[in-house]
Amino acid sequence: MTENEATAPTPPSRLRGPVEVIGTGLLGTSIALACRRAGIEVLLTDLSPEHVRTACGLGAGRARQADDRPQVVVVAVPPDHLPEVLVEALDVTRGTDAVVTDVGSVKSAPYNAVRHHPDVRRYVGSHPMAGSERSGPLAAHVSLFEGRPWAITPHLDSDVEAVETVEELVRLSGAVPVWLTPHEHDRAVARTSHVPHLMAALTAGRLATAPATHLALSGPGVRDVTRVAAGEPTLYGQIVTANSEAVLDLLGEVRRQLDQVMTAIELGDRATLEGVLALGAAGTRAIPGKHGGPARPMQSVWVSVPDTAGQLAKLLADAVESEVNVEDIRIDHDPARPVGLVELVVEEVRAEHLLDSLEARGWTTHR
Amino acid sequence: MTENEATAPTPPSRLRGPVEVIGTGLLGTSIALACRRAGIEVLLTDLSPEHVRTACGLGAGRARQADDRPQVVVVAVPPDHLPEVLVEALDVTRGTDAVVTDVGSVKSAPYNAVRHHPDVRRYVGSHPMAGSERSGPLAAHVSLFEGRPWAITPHLDSDVEAVETVEELVRLSGAVPVWLTPHEHDRAVARTSHVPHLMAALTAGRLATAPATHLALSGPGVRDVTRVAAGEPTLYGQIVTANSEAVLDLLGEVRRQLDQVMTAIELGDRATLEGVLALGAAGTRAIPGKHGGPARPMQSVWVSVPDTAGQLAKLLADAVESEVNVEDIRIDHDPARPVGLVELVVEEVRAEHLLDSLEARGWTTHR
């Protein structure tokens, strides 16, 4: 592990540690690694001693001892166990100022579990918008949260200091804090995460038993739509169940619109069908862009790149020598050929220059 | 434009040209460019003289004259107009051996339009699995089809020579031919393209009127699920309508399973919910992989990369000097930070070596 200036976080002032992480899965271990990077002591707890050993081996901290006194407790257990573990965390730290937070995907259920606890002021919920199709401590990495939104969900009785401490934890992990109430948070993630996941699963389910000749026509589109459905079914079952109210509201909207679409297709009612498609297109434009700023006009430049070591690096080096900054790269997952098509996304005003320059350097571009 | 050995197609023997392209949009103009690359004469026809001029300006061919005699006619018009233009193409070429094909997204409707035509033997349908959220001749590029599946859908009365000529057109464009009957093709694309598009649109539609605080929690997952819904509503309305039977069959399955999911969430019936999610996960594994071959085990290596010119190229160059071939790159679209997280996908057996080597060269990796 090396460090460079660009990723060094602002030093925290309230968050001194030790930080106890309960649950050393993907999220818990990644948070522990981020705390360790900042020099903060980390205590690890998990029902599985093997997970704790693995996380310790990764440099995420040490196993918690009975007499340890954490300043902050991060509960990072699966949604089904979250309410009980949160209550226990507040109980165990009675009489201290320990801040208790959690990183569960749903925020109303854990808040409801502790709202009548005498120490509820020490609890502030949170939820990093990061994850992976993989799970467990070995999937963790210190920059899992880099640049990602991380919701902080204070309630009416939250101590200001507790909220500020959680904010420091968020910033120390490289994430961008977003403040919401627990209720609004749950409505937001139903929309941006849970319902999209279910829709991806329903779409992917149609492929599971499809003939191979049908699947041979799969392009990048269906891969994109279904990708998140690869996530762990048990975990997503827990998440969706814990947010049932908001998810069912939205699924009700989806179902009404699906019925409209089916009737429109049957009747050849093109206006209704196009209306639903146009609403979808508007939805894709509503998602905030990279860097959150106003979108600069971008253009794609396509280049053929032989699928052998070094060619992609050479292409990027040539783009740099052309003094064009590559904002994004997409490599086409072609099903059968040894030549890849690489899409370089650059500022529109620089695209023509890049094409000329790459061609002069012998690349096959595609105008 | 430059050429290199790796992309040079096998020279065609049946396909000599001229090739007439009717409809100089994204697909038609891209096919024309691929023919021109192979030295074949291309005649361009479009209701819009401006589109023809633009395509000519791109080097896609010349405007068709009344006395031109095409060897192959490629009909690349929107689905609504496809049947009539196909019939006209067969009529106009009566008494010749001209092969007529089309590149429409649906194959039963055009076949039904010409199946009783006296010259139906000269017609063979086809459908390249390529496209873009953009449209028109300016969006065309010569390698749009590189490595993509391209369905060829012969019928019982197709001439063998016509089928072989279309196959040569497919290979010349860099695509991989996949043979299906028109009926099976339509069932396949309903599953791998039309229904995924509608599901993406229904999901994205929920974002169109969402509060900004909800959208601030958007992560890569929802972007992936909704990306294709950015496509042109009128065009997709035509495509879905032309394939109504197969699309409605699948949407019926989706709707039944959506009902199951909603009931399961309401009742807390976790087994049913997990069953649907597990079927979705199985579906994602059913999609064929890159290069179509057996999957080698891959591992991701994460590296922090400052978002300034040259850093990405330097990273790739360092990977090359480490003698590790990068199979895929993903750049995280972080909403607010000037440091990107880059995921390099490499063979599992080389990942540890790459991490060590990049760290030794001063990169911030994330284990």
How many C-beta atoms lie closer than 10 Å to residue A67's C-beta? Answer: 5
Q: Which of residues 141 through 200 in chain A touch B, CB cutoff 8 A?
A: 141-144, 146-149, 151, 174, 176, 178, 180, 184-185, 187-189, 191-193, 195-200
pLDDT of residue A248: 98
Candidates A153, A256, A334, A342: best to mutate against B (most CBs of B within 10 A) is A334
Residue among B58, B221, B236 minimizing CB distance to A193: B221
B12: closest CA of chain A, how far (Å): 19
B328/A203 Cβ within 8 A: no
DSSP assignment letter at A10 = P
Dihedral pair phi/psi, residue B26, rounded to 5°: -55, -55
**Gap between the Cα atoms of A91 and A88, Å rounded:** 5
pLDDT of residue A131: 72
Tell me the average pLDDT across B47-67. Answer: 95
Q: Are residues A79 and A201 in the same domain?
A: no
Q: Are residues B268 and B233 in the same domain?
A: yes
B292 is a domain residue: no
Q: Angle CA(B134)–CA(A204)–CA(B330) in degrees, nearest 5?
A: 55
B291/A337 Cβ within 8 A: yes
Tell me the average pLDDT across A104-122. Answer: 95
Q: Is A105 helix (H, G, I), strand (E, B) or coil?
A: coil
Q: Are residues A170 and A211 in the same domain?
A: no
Q: Angle CA(A77)–CA(A82)–CA(A88) in degrees, nearest 5?
A: 105
How many C-beta atoms lie closer than 10 Å to residue A299's C-beta? Answer: 15
Q: Are residues B46 and B106 in the same domain?
A: yes
Question: Which residue of chain A has the CA closest to B143?
Answer: A366
Q: Do strands A149-153 and A125-128 pair parallel, antiparallel, or not at all (unpaired)?
A: antiparallel
A145 is a domain residue: yes
**Gap between the Cα atoms of B11 and B38, Å rounded:** 8
A291 is a domain residue: no
pLDDT of residue B173: 94
pLDDT at A88 over 50: yes
Length, in residues, of chain A = 367
Cβ-Cβ contacts under 8 Å for B242 (sequence gap 6 or more): B79, B80, B82, B104, B105, B106, B109
Q: Comparing B244 with B312, which gets the higher pLDDT?
A: B244
B64 is a domain residue: yes
* Interface membership of A325 toward B (CB under 8 Å): yes
Q: Are residues B106 and B170 in the same domain?
A: yes
B291 is a domain residue: no
Q: Are residues B18 and B143 in the same domain?
A: yes
A95: closest CA of chain B, how far (Å): 35
| Chain B residues within an 8 Å CB radius of A342 | none
CA dihedral angle for residue A233, residue A239, residue A244, residue A246, rounded to 10 degrees: -120
Read off the CATH number of the domain in which B250 is found: 1.10.3660.10
A146/B339 Cβ within 8 A: yes
B293 is a domain residue: no
**Gap between the Cα atoms of A212 and A218, Å rounded:** 10
Read off the CATH number of the domain in which A354 is found: 3.30.70.260
DSSP assignment of A265-332 equals: HHHT-HHHHHHHHHHHHHHHHHS--GGGSPPPPEEEEEEEEESSTTHHHHHHHHHHHTT----EEEE-
Q: What is the mean pLDDT of chain A?
A: 88
pLDDT of residue A190: 97
Q: Are residues A311 and A221 in the same domain?
A: no
Question: Which residue of chain A has the CA closest to B105?
Answer: A217
Q: Which of residues 302 through 321 in chain A touch B, CB cutoff 8 A?
A: 302, 304, 306, 308-310, 312-314, 316-317, 319-320
Which of A118, A147, A180 lies at the terminal end of a domain, its last residue?
A180
Read off the CATH number of the domain in which A110 is found: 3.40.50.720
Under the banding of pLDDT at 50, 70 and 90, the label for residue A338 is low
B115 is a domain residue: yes
B22 is a domain residue: yes
Amino acid at A138: L
| Chain B residues within an 8 Å CB radius of A148 | 219, 334-335
DSSP assignment of A203-228 equals: HHHHHHT--HHHHTT--HHHHHHHGG
Q: Are residues B110 and B245 in the same domain?
A: no
Number of domains in chain B: 3
Question: Which residue of chain A has the CA closest to B299?
Answer: A139
pLDDT tens digits for A134-174? 678 888 888 889 888 899 999 999 999 999 999 999 999 99
Which of A286, A317, A351 lies at the terminal end of a domain, its last residue?
A286
Range of the domain at B98: 12-180
In the β-sheet with A328-331, what is the strand arrangement from edge to edge? Answer: A328-331, A339-347, A298-306, A364-366
| Chain A residues within an 8 Å CB radius of B252 | 262
Q: Are residues A245 and A361 in the same domain?
A: no
Which of A256, A286, A316 lies at the terminal end of a domain, its last residue?
A286
Question: Which residue of chain B has the CA closest to A277?
Answer: B233
pLDDT tens digits for A29-78? 999 999 999 999 999 999 999 999 999 999 999 999 999 999 999 999 99
Q: Do strands B365-366 and B298-306 pair parallel, antiparallel, or not at all (unpaired)?
A: antiparallel
